[in-house]
Structure 1
Amino acid sequence: MKWTLILLLTAYLPSFGQNTISYTDGNTSPNATLADVSWIAGHWKGEAFGGITEEIWSPPLGDSMMFVFKLVVDDKVALYEVGHIRQEEESLILRLKHFNGNLTGWEEKDKTVDFKLVKIEGNKVYFDDFTFEKINDSEINIYVVLEQKNGSKEEVAFNYKK
Structure 2
Amino acid sequence: MIRSISLALSLCAMSSPTWAADTSWTDVTPRLEGCWEGEGLGGQVSECWLIADDGRADGMFLMRKNDKPNFAEILTIDDFGDGPEMRLKHVYGDMTGWEEKDDYVSFKLVSADADTLTFKGLVLIFDGDDKLRTELKMTMKNGETRLMPFSFRRTAQIARAEAPD
Counterpart secondary structure, 2:127: strand
Structure 1 residue 91, shift from structure 2 partner: 4.0
Cα distance in 2 between the residues matched to 1:139 and 1:129: 20
Q: Which runs of 5+ in 1 are unaligned?
A: 1-21
Is 1:160 matched up with 2:152?
A: yes
Q: Choose between structure 1 and 2 for higher RCO, CA contacts under 8 A separated by at least 6 residues.
A: 2
Counterpart secondary structure, 2:30: helix
1:133 to 108, 125, 148: 125
Q: Which runs of 5+ in 2 are unaligned?
A: 1-11, 155-165
Q: Which residue of the partner structure matches residue 37 of structure 1?
A: 29
CA pair 24-53 structure 1, distance change in 2 beyond 3 A: closer
Matches within 5 A, 1:1-162: 25=15, 27-28=16-17, 30=19, 32-61=24-53, 64-89=56-81, 91-162=83-154
User: Identical aligned pairs, as a percentage?
Assistant: 26
CA pair 63-133 structure 1, distance change in 2 beyond 3 A: closer
After alignment, is 140-149 or 61-70 more displaced?
61-70
Write the deviation string for residues 115-150 of structure 1: whole angstroms up to 9, x where unpaired. 111011341110111101010111110111112121
Write the deviation string for residues 56-108 of structure 1: whole angstroms up to 9, x where unpaired. 11122566211111111111100101120013458421000111000101111
Q: Which amino acid aligns with 2:94?
A: N
CA RMSD of aligned residues (A): 2.2
Cα distance in 2 between the residues matched to 1:161 and 1:94: 21
Counterpart secondary structure, 1:37: helix
Partners of 1:33 and 1:87 within 8 A in 2? no
When normalised by structure 1's length, the TM-score is: 0.77
Cα distance in 2 between the residues matched to 1:159 and 1:138: 11
CA pair 103-117 structure 1, distance change in 2 beyond 3 A: same
Cα distance in 2 between the residues matched to 1:96 and 1:56: 14
